[in-house]
Every structure is written in structure tokens, then in C-alpha cells.
Amino acid sequence: MSDIDLNALRVVNNSTHQRYEIALGDAIAFAEYHLSGRTIIFTHTEVPSIFEGKGVGGKLAKGAIEDAIAQGYRIEPQCPFIAAYIKRHPEYQPHTRGY
């Protein structure tokens, strides 16, 4: 699976496990979170090494952030990956604690 069609990947909120996921065959990329009132706190993001550098992490971050905003959550990016993504995409900063 060297070429990935990012448009075909779906970001899904697995609320049971408190994480957003992208299924990649037998592997899963995920962004873990927990909720505190109306704040969603992203704590850890992981992309299987075979998919690193192919845009999967960015697709995951964007999908997770946009879904959280659509649900009315304020975002607290404790995860360095999510924090860096928000820093590179200032349109999300008004929805984020700490900016």
C-alpha cells in the first residue's frame, strides 16, 4: 500500500475508545482524546510507521479537529502532533485553548 488515496480515507470518531481513527487495512491510525465539559483534549496521535510521511496524520488531524468543532467543542491540543497541526493551520486557532 505505497500509494494512498487520501480522499478515500475516512476519519471516524470511535467514542467508545475515545479516539478518532482511520482504518488502513489491518492497521489503524488514531488520535486519542478525553472530554472535559465542552473541551476535547487531544492527548496522543499515532500513525503506523509504514504510513508516516504520506499525509495520513494530517488527514486524521484535520478530520478530528473539524468534527470536534462541528460538535461545539473547544480544543486543547496536549498532543504535540495536533498542536503542531493547529499551529500550521491558523483557521483552527479560534477554537483552541491556549491561542
Flag whether pLDDT at 1 surpasses 60: no
21-29 contacts, C-beta under 8 A, 24 or more apart: 21/60, 22/56, 22/59, 22/60, 22/63, 24/48, 24/51, 24/56, 25/1, 27/51, 29/56, 29/57, 29/60
> What pLDDT does residue 4 have?
80
CATH superfamily of 6-95: Gcn5-related N-acetyltransferase (GNAT) (3.40.630.30)
> What pLDDT does residue 63 have?
98
Flag whether pLDDT at 2 surpasses 70: no
Domain ranges of the chain: 6-95
pLDDT classification of 99: cutoffs 50, 70, 90: low
Nearest to 82 by CA among 70, 71, 93, 72: 93
**pLDDT, tens only, 58-87:** 999 999 999 999 999 999 999 999 999 999
Full-prediction pTM beyond 0.85?
yes
- Cβ atoms < 10 Å from Cβ of 34: 13
